[in-house]
Amino acid sequence: MSEMPLVLIAPSLLSADFANFAQAARQAAEAGAEFLHFDVMDGVFVPNITFGPQTVRALRHHSDAIFDVHLMIVQPERYIEEFAQAGADIITVHAEASTHLQRTLARIRECGARAGVSLNPATPLNAIEYVLPDIDLLLIMTVNPGFGGQEFIPEMLRKIARARAMLDEAGSDAWLEVDGGINGATTPLVVRAGARVLVAGSAVFGHPDGVRAGVEELRQAVWEAQERV
């Protein structure tokens, strides 16, 4: 088992109580989640609106988790510095939202954060083929972004597997992250396809038995997937 790749859990605040993010961050950390995932939405790139850098900054005082900031906003380059200064450890932009993607990714690293790029379900992998050296994380959306609680799109399994092969062939050690519809049932599928970071909103913060049970259920599913390899 020791050679099994590490799979990390990234609970998404989108499904937490918006009146009590500090408690949600604490519960996620106590349950052993390594990342805390922030879904930043502008009402333009996606239909929904959530929060901005002030929220990241405020929570920085409450958590030592890796702050994984997923920008679902147009022209994300306008806000990179602000999110980095607010305490984001990883800043992920959408390839569809940034015209000069390579420059945007380089800027994230210049600001001291790790650079992530995300692809909507319909966006082909070749959109990022030439920026692989510039990324620390590749986020494959497994739903169309905008809302929590949507169903996993099964066709994305093929995309995750191809992304895994693409990163491995390039010798990249970027994290391969998946986001949307991740739960106890889909976790074994995405882990076997090569995902290494699992974003989960409703499966963690909406778990009927609480946050700890939600994280543990995902861990158990990871473990079972790896046992059966």
Contact positions toward Zn ion, by CB under 5 A? 39, 70, 179
C-alpha–C-alpha distance, residues 215 and 57, integer Å: 24
Cβ proximity to ligand DX5: between 23 and 129 the closer is 23
One residue of 5, 149, 154, 210 binding ligand DX5 per CB under 6 A:
149
Q: Which of the residues are catalytic?
A: 39, 179
**CA nearest neighbour of 25 among 67, 69, 63:** 63
In angstroms, the CA 78 to CA 175 distance is 24
- Nearest-CA neighbor of 93 among 164, 145, 43? 145
CB under 6 A: which stretch of 24-32, 54-62, 106-114, 199-207 binds ligand DX5? Answer: 199-207
Give 174 or 200: the residue with its C-beta nearer to ligand DX5: 200
92 contacts ligand DX5 (rule: CB under 6 A)? no
Interatomic CA distance for residues 42 and 44, integer angstroms = 5
Distance separating alpha carbons of residues 164 and 61, to the nearest angstrom:
35
Q: 3-class DSSP state for residue 127?
A: helix
Give residues 158-197 in contact with ligand DX5 (rule: CB under 6 A): 179-182
Contact pattern for ligand DX5 over residues 68 through 87, marking x by CB under 6 A: --x-----------------
Site residues for ligand DX5 per CB under 6 A: 12, 14-15, 37, 39, 70, 143, 145-150, 179-182, 199-203
